[in-house]
């Protein structure tokens, strides 16, 4: 029998700093607290200065970068921060999960809302995906609003199932001409000719998952919204909640190697 008192808990670090959207942060924390076996992990926040200054990698299992504004992540972590994150994954066998803005931040190049006042066309340092992240894919994005949100029709390839997931400003993943195609497409936007929506890549001894959809988003929060559109999104997502649950379990257990609750 396993003696839980002898287990040294590892950390699941969730980035909380400038640029992180509050609802995304709340949903991300709730997502992990509901699904992860906390007898093995501490779920805690981490700020940019801590990622830069502290030796956080040794006892960390997973670093999560939630939704928000990728430009501010880049400005805060460029240089030493990104170097330490990449070393955590490649050399220390760490896991990295980038959701929406976190996925943009994790790629080699960001192309967001080109031709609009929100345009971002910049290179990034992490380069966990060697190509570019391009978005928004399904609807125009409006900061701090649900106007650009919808229920994305997702095909989860490892299990051959489809489910609806919350979407707001997310990306797809496009190879550059010289990029190595050494990544796995876990899921696609089924209603957009099956272009990639969630990918996995092994970096050194670690693993990276980048997601253009918010599979972590809590439907209970959507239920409480006064918006008719948001209520409709919630009802659509709930139609395939069992399929989504299976896909999430695969990502957490099979891909990121986490211990979840039964």
pLDDT for res 8: 85
3-state secondary structure (DSSP) of residue 135 = strand
Asked if the model's pLDDT at residue 228 lies above 80, the reply is: no
What is the chain's percent helix, strand, coil content, to nearest 5?
A: 30, 30, 35
Q: Does any domain span residue 260?
A: no
What range defines the domain where residue 77 resides? Answer: 8-255
Q: Does any domain span residue 16?
A: yes
Mean of per-residue pLDDT scores for the chain: 93
Q: Does any domain span residue 213?
A: yes
pLDDT for res 231: 81
| pLDDT level of residue 3 (50, 70, 90 thresholds) | very low
Q: Does any domain span residue 90?
A: yes
Asked if the model's pLDDT at residue 180 lies above 70, the reply is: no
**CA–CA dist 247, 163 (Å, integer):** 9
Query: What average pLDDT score do residues 49-65 get?
Result: 97
Beta bridge partners of 209: 97, 200
Hey, what's the torsion of the CAs at 91, 57, 127, 217, to 10 degrees? 130
* DSSP states of 18-43: TTB-HHHHHHHHHHHHHHB-TTTEEE
Rg (CA), the chain: 17
Which contacts (CB < 8 Å, 24+ apart) does range 218-226 have? 218/26, 218/27, 218/30, 218/31, 221/23, 221/26, 221/27, 222/166, 225/146
Instruction: Confirm if 214 and 165 have CB atoms less than 8 A apart.
Output: yes
Instruction: Confirm if 132 and 138 have CB atoms less than 8 A apart.
Output: no
CATH number of the domain at 217, please: 3.40.50.880
Comparison of pLDDT for 37 and 176, the residue scoring more: 37
Q: Tell me, rounded to whole angstroms, the distance of Cα 147 from its chain centroid.
A: 21
Q: Does any domain span residue 98?
A: yes
**CA–CA dist 17, 146 (Å, integer):** 22
Q: Total structural domains in the chain?
A: 1
Query: What average pLDDT score do residues 201-207 get?
Result: 97
What is the CA angle 255-98-33, rounded to 5?
A: 70
**CA–CA dist 214, 230 (Å, integer):** 14
Q: Does any domain span residue 1?
A: no
Asked if the model's pLDDT at residue 98 lies above 60, the reply is: yes
| pLDDT level of residue 226 (50, 70, 90 thresholds) | low
**CA–CA dist 211, 99 (Å, integer):** 5
Q: Does any domain span residue 241?
A: yes
Asked if the model's pLDDT at residue 4 lies above 60, the reply is: no
**CA–CA dist 65, 209 (Å, integer):** 11
pLDDT tens sequence across 249-262: 999 999 999 999 97
Q: Does any domain span residue 3?
A: no
Instruction: Confirm if 28 and 99 have CB atoms less than 8 A apart.
Output: yes
Asked if the model's pLDDT at residue 184 lies above 80, the reply is: yes
Comparison of pLDDT for 123 and 225, the residue scoring more: 123
């Amino acid at each position: 029998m396993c003696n839980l008192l002898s287990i040294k808990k590892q950390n699941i670090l969730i980035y909380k700093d400038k640029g992180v959207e509050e609802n995304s942060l709340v949903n991300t924390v709730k997502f992990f607290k509901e699904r992860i076996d906390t007898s093995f992990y501490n779920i805690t926040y981490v700020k940019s200065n801590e990622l830069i200054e502290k030796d956080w990698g040794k006892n960390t299992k997973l670093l999560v970068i939630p939704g928000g504004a990728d430009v501010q992540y880049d400005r805060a972590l460029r240089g030493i921060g990104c170097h330490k994150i990449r070393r955590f994954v490649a050399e220390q066998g760490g896991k990295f999960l980038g959701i929406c803005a976190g996925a943009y931040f994790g790629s080699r190049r960001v192309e967001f809302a080109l031709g609009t006042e929100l345009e971002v066309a910049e290179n990034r340092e992490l380069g966990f995906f060697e190509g570019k992240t391009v978005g928004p894919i399904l609807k125009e994005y409006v900061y701090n609003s649900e106007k650009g949100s919808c229920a994305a029709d997702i095909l989860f390839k490892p299990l051959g199932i489809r489910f609806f997931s919350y979407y707001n400003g997310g990306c797809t993943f496009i190879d550059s001409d010289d990029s190595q195609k050494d990544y796995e497409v876990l899921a696609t936007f089924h209603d957009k000719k099956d272009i990639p929506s969630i990918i996995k890549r092994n970096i050194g001894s670690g693993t990276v998952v980048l997601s253009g959809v918010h599979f972590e988003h809590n439907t209970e929060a959507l239920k409480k919204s006064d918006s008719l559109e948001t209520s409709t999104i919630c009802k659509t997502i709930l139609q395939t909640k069992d399929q989504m649950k299976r896909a999430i379990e695969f990502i957490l257990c099979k891909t990121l190697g986490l211990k979840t609750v039964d």
